[in-house]
């Protein structure tokens, strides 16, 4: 393992384009041995897509990792498509892929939006889940979404500052391509500023624009969840091994959501990472996530 606590770079063992219905085609990668411990990797966003660096979180000698670009995200097609794109659709896709690959069950690993999707999936298909590892917890509540978007107000005229996300969504999802481009870049740069990344410049590519479109689609609809749905559903999964890894200085998904989840699920292992932020690939978070995966490999019923 390298100094950044990640495993060496690796290439996928196989790459598939899988049609899942409604005109959606998912980009699906597999890494590691075919007889390894199955792990489902769920990217953030929503709409973020999987990165090559994400593969480096998993021991290539132990885990059979399945990485899926969710509907409309990353390399999935059609890029940025919002039709038949809800949390329930994404959950159904995950189990479709599991069955298509002949995997009886898997460990589910997800961060940020991926932690929300991990909980939603496990609560519908608990028999398919050996255990969960979640980091940078996001529960999709209206309060979380409002808090995250609060800083957008200064980028808008005074009349629109009370409901900034609605104003951004109207522009990004509207019929004017130039306005959509400009506003999507503002939105993505707002996110990048929160995590200390340099702003994007120039015209957005298809994946970047898709990310902004999908985020507006989900965040303005409270992620297609009933209020309190994920916390109420813990009773269905409290018997599963679980680890909650939370950067205690996370500016995107502050610790309050993770602490709320742990209170509702005290059986889950609680791993606070002091002074760490949102990025699972940062050394402190990567070390905690890799350790959690090692523990899960030992205790999950696989």
As a whole number of angstroms, the distance between CA 236 and CA 251 comes to 30
Average pLDDT over residues 221-248: 98
Helix axes of 113-124 and 87-100: crossing angle, nearest 10 degrees: 70
Q: What tens digit of pLDDT does each residue of 107-140 get? A: 999 999 999 999 999 999 999 999 999 999 999 9
Q: With beta carbons less than 8 A apart as the criterion, state whether 252 and 112 touch.
A: yes
- Domains of the chain: which residue ranges? 14-140+225-299, 144-222
112 is catalytic: yes
As a whole number of angstroms, the distance between CA 47 and CA 208 comes to 9
**Which of 301, 300, 297, 298 is closest to 63 using CA atoms?**
297
278 is catalytic: yes
H runs (alpha helix) in 60-112: 87-100
Q: What tens digit of pLDDT does each residue of 11-49 get? A: 999 999 999 999 999 999 999 999 999 999 999 999 999
275 is catalytic: no
Q: With beta carbons less than 8 A apart as the criterion, state whether 220 and 166 touch.
A: yes
* pLDDT confidence of residue 4: 76
Strands 129-137 and 106-112: parallel
User: Annotated catalytic residue: which of 79, 93, 278, 279?
Assistant: 278
CA 157 to chain centre: 31
Strand partners, 31: 65
Q: With beta carbons less than 8 A apart as the criterion, state whether 80 and 49 touch.
A: no
Q: What is the CATH number of domain 14-140+225-299?
A: 3.40.50.1820
User: Annotated catalytic residue: which of 69, 93, 115, 250?
Assistant: 250
Question: At 42, is the secondary structure helix, strand, or coil?
Answer: strand
H runs (alpha helix) in the chain: 87-100, 113-124, 142-149, 164-172, 177-194, 206-219, 229-232, 255-264, 283-299
Per-residue pLDDT band at 302 (split at 50, 70, 90)? low
User: Annotated catalytic residue: which of 79, 112, 115, 128?
Assistant: 112
Q: What tens digit of pLDDT does each residue of 80-89 get? A: 999 999 999 9
Q: With beta carbons less than 8 A apart as the criterion, state whether 219 and 145 touch.
A: yes
Strand partners, 67: 29, 41
**Which of 117, 103, 35 is closest to 69 using CA atoms?**
117
Per-residue pLDDT band at 3 (split at 50, 70, 90)? low
As a whole number of angstroms, the distance between CA 247 and CA 269 comes to 14
DSSP 46: T
Locate 258 and state its tokens.
């993770």
221-226-229 Cα angle (round to 5): 130
CA dihedral 198, 199, 204, 210 (to 10 degrees): 80
pTM beyond 0.95: the answer is: yes
**Which of 216, 183, 209, 178 is closest to 85 using CA atoms?**
216
Strand partners, 112: 137
């Amino acid at each position: 393992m390298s100094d950044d606590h990640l495993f060496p770079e690796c290439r996928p063992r196989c790459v598939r384009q899988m049609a899942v219905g409604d005109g959606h085609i998912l980009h699906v990668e597999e890494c590691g041995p075919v007889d390894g411990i199955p792990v489902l990797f769920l990217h953030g966003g929503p709409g973020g897509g999987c990165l090559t660096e994400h593969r480096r979180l998993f021991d290539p000698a132990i885990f059979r990792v399945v990485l899926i670009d969710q509907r409309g995200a990353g390399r999935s097609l059609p890029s940025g498509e919002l039709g038949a794109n809800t949390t329930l659709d994404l959950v159904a896709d995950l189990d479709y892929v599991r069955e298509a690959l002949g995997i009886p069950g898997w460990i589910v690993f997800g961060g940020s939006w991926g932690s929300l999707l991990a909980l939603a999936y496990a609560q519908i298909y608990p028999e398919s889940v050996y255990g969960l590892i979640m980091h940078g917890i996001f529960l999709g509540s209206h309060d979380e979404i409002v808090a995250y978007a609060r800083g957008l107000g200064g980028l808008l005229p005074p009349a629109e500052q009370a409901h900034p996300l609605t104003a951004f969504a109207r522009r990004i999802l509207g019929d004017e391509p130039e306005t959509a481009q400009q506003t999507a870049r503002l939105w993505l740069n707002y996110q990048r500023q929160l995590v200390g990344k340099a702003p994007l410049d120039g015209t957005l590519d298809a994946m970047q624009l898709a990310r902004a479109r999908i985020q507006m689609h989900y965040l303005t609809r409270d992620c297609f969840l009933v209020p309190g749905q994920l916390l109420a559903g813990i009773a269905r999964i409290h018997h599963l091994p679980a680890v909650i890894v939370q950067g205690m200085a996370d500016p995107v998904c502050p610790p309050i959501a993770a602490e709320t989840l742990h209170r509702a699920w005290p059986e889950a292992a609680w791993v606070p990472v002091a002074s760490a932020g949102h990025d699972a690939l940062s050394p402190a978070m990567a070390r905690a996530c890799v350790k959690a995966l090692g523990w899960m490999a030992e205790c999950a019923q696989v």
